[in-house]
Amino acid sequence: MYRTSFSVKALNTAILFIAFVTIGIVACQGQGFIVPPDDIGDLEIVEVKQLPVVDQSCGPRFGIVIANKSNRCVKDFHVTAIGSLGQALPHSPRTTVVAGQIPANGALQVEVSLPIETLAMGNRGGLIIGLQHLTVIIDSWDEYFECNEFNNRKCFSMDSLPIETVEAVTVETVTEVAPATSSQQTTVQSNTAPPANIAPQTSGINQPAPAAAAVSPQDPLRSAIAQITPNGNNPSQ
């Protein structure tokens, strides 16, 4: 009898508790505490990619693109990234960051760096292996009420994640040389033609002497005496 009475009391207590909860939900709905469907937003993981490693003392970096599918701005929610070899476990290395502000119907990329121990999580035949899977959880502290909670957690294989590369930009330095200032003076060349029929100048070396000196035609008497007298060339005789 004692056991039967205890079971009945427990059953009655459970029935009363369920009834009170049901009545409270109905009363709240009747007083307008239901959230309109248009105001129920949704955070969704759009893309996850690997980012270039900036510091070798840190673990791998990831960029998580989150979309805010609601009519209201969402901010200061938590994003958690977990590295694992297979299924994420409670002791798996993880990092939690606070996301910034995402406008209504907008998107935001959140950068997360995992601990460096994710680079050496296993040993395969003496070969150190790092994380093989990445688990991403947005709104990991369950701070926002959403219409779809199932798209807040996704697991990715490291081989399936795209790697973002940084393109090297070559900067060409061009040195401009100022042009030399040209003279404004104009040189006018004369159009005089070179003189024609100019005999070429010859050097005075080894030139033959003239055969006979020319006699001035203005002194015929002296010329006649010079021809008759043998020693006419010497006037002192």
**DSSP E strand stretches across 58-177:** 61-68, 78-84, 94-98, 107-113, 122-124, 127-129, 133-138, 153-157
How many H helices and E strands in the chain? 2, 9
Rounded to an integer, the average pLDDT of 1-20 is 68
112-157 pLDDT tens trace: 999 999 999 988 888 999 999 999 999 999 988 898 899 999 999 9
In-domain check, residue 196: no
* Domain membership of residue 93 as a residue range: 37-160
Residue located via tokens 């219409």: 147
In-domain check, residue 101: yes
Confidence of residue 79 (pLDDT cuts 50, 70, 90): very high
- Number of folded domains in the chain? 1
178-194 pLDDT tens trace: 565 554 554 545 555 55
pTM: 0.56
In-domain check, residue 199: no
pLDDT at residue 164, as a whole number: 87
In-domain check, residue 180: no
In-domain check, residue 3: no
Query: Judging by DSSP bridges, how do beta strands 122-124 and 107-113 pair with one another?
Result: unpaired
* CATH number of the domain where residue 58 is located: 2.60.40.10
Give dist(CA 213, CA 218) in Å, integer. 15
In-domain check, residue 232: no
Element (H, E) at 30: helix 2-30
Total residue count of the chain as it appears in this document: 237
In-domain check, residue 224: no
Lowest mean pLDDT among 22-26, 66-70, 223-227: 22-26
